[in-house]
Chain A
Amino acid sequence: MKYMLLLTQGAWQENGTEAERTEIYQGIMEWFGRQWAEGTVVESNQLQPPATATTVVLDTGGSTLVDRPLLEAKEAIGGYAVIDVADLDAALAVARSFPMPDGKIEVRPVVER
């Protein structure tokens, strides 16, 4: 089954020293490396910071643009990964192993046609 992992910005990205942050990023890169090698991750991307986001609001009248991400700073999405695993327990285990000290990860099944 395929699941989307939506990775949020963590407080760790604001706090701590440059060195600490670099170390965590390094750990994350290594984690992705392993997951790709094992065939767990089938797609993934880090997104540029939330400040670079533009939100398009669609309505019957037309559309408007907002210079903000969908979700506010603390919960903004930082990246995503699509994983292919046996079931939810496996997906949750992958999410729980993500090497960041804080933050949230939404795990949602992908509609497969």
Chain B
Amino acid sequence: MFREEAGRLTASLVRLLGDFDLAEEMVADAVVEAMVRWPIHGMPDRPGAWLLTTARHKAIDRIRRESRYREKLTLIAALPESTTREPDDRLRLIFTCCHPALDPDAQVALTLRAVAGLTTAEIARAFLVPEATLAKRLTRAKQKIVAAGIPYRAPEPEERRERLDQVLRVIYLVFNEAYLTTSGDNASRWELAHDAGWLATLLIRWLPDEPEPLGLLALIRLHLARWPARVDDEGGLVLLKDQNRLAWDRGQIDDAVSLIARAAAMGRPGPYQVEAAMQAVHCEASTWEDTDWPQLLQLYSLLASMDRTPVVLLNRAVVVAEVEGPGAALEQVEVLARPLARYHLYHATRADLLRRLGRDVEACVADREALRLTTNPAERAVLLDRIGRGTRAAGRDDAG
């Protein structure tokens, strides 16, 4: 309860005060006071209103001590007591947290802190950075917002597309952090993944005419649907082709598919909608072999036309392997050698294709390169296993 409330209060206060830093601090102080007073005096009838009033009074006291803000003080004192917390405030908050003038890391930290209400410690744990580092990151970002004059507002229509992309990217970054990392306990990964989903849901509520947030939520839901099958009993990663599809959450998949349809009806395709559609193709196949590869290839080509990055082209090549064979795919993959030299999945994909073409020795070399480039323990386990099997197979060939 507190997390949501804190987020909403901060948003309302920022609007009143025009000072992000101050608003956050005052909300925190109000919450602390609540935790001390309420057990003694009992909970007020409207706790939200109590918190807002308390935070405002504290803010007024603080501002009184700073002469520069004398005129702002008159402004606040004159405003009527307000307990309506408009969704507009939250929208302004998330767009401000995700302002492109801030470092992407800072955008993520700020969004999780101010919008999702995670504590500094929780965020630090999720991203595997020391808490002090994260605290400094947050402070710098908040100071920059105030000092550089980053305005507290939602973007104008002409900036909407670019700014929305930024917010979607931040939310997806959070989701990926939860989904791909396997260190830390599973329960907090799950919570963080759901926080990302929740942020996407908020966006949909506030921007009902935008299709991409729907696409993003669908994408998140589809990944979450497969979560139970993704990790085996020992905590190892199970590749999509080997997953037990009966463990997938059909309900989430159906929900996601209707979100995709809702988005498609708006007639403005975008990368998140396409990625969601691709995952839906996988989720609707009863086995790896039954996957509608030609449709997937079409979707990848569509994605590549919107987002012509090497990683997209790499993933597209994986599908090409299923439609045109590993030889054609390998040709397309090797074109990406320079931009993706340091990307472990480039080498892992290449290794897989080489193995399918019977070039086991080269495959092993590529797998080792992939191993060198990733620190993710689950992925390393998969690669080590492949190298092990590959070595044994080569051994058999020599012997026979």
Contact = CB atoms under 8 A, between A and B. Distances in A.
Check if A and B associate.
yes
A105 to B, nearest CB: 13
Interface residues of A, number: 10
Size category of the binding interface on chain B = under 10
The A interface, classified by DSSP as helix, strand, loop or mixed, is: mixed
A67 interface: no
B166 to A, nearest CB: 13
B147 A87 contact: no
A109 B147 contact: yes
Nearest to B156: A89
Interface in A55-113: 86-89, 91-92, 108-109
Interface string B127-155: 00000000000000000000111110000
Contacts of A1: 149
Contacts of B35: none
Interface string B80-109: 000000000000000000010100000000
Contacts of A109: 147-149
Contacts of A87: 149-151
A108 B150 CA distance: 12
Contacts of A91: 149
A61 B149 CA distance: 39
A89 B149 CA distance: 8
A98 to B, nearest CB: 17
Contacts of B159: 89
A109 B148 CA distance: 6
A3 B149 CA distance: 10
Nearest to B145: A88
Contacts of A3: 149
A89 B151 contact: yes
21 contacts: A1-B149, A3-B149, A86-B151, A87-B149, A87-B150, A87-B151, A88-B99, A88-B101, A88-B148, A88-B149, A88-B150, A88-B151, A89-B150, A89-B151, A89-B159, A91-B149, A92-B101, A108-B148, A109-B147, A109-B148, A109-B149
Interface of A: 1, 3, 86-89, 91-92, 108-109
Q: What 8 pairs across the A-B complex have the smallest Cβ distances?
A: A87-B151, A87-B149, A88-B149, A1-B149, A88-B150, A88-B148, A109-B148, A89-B151
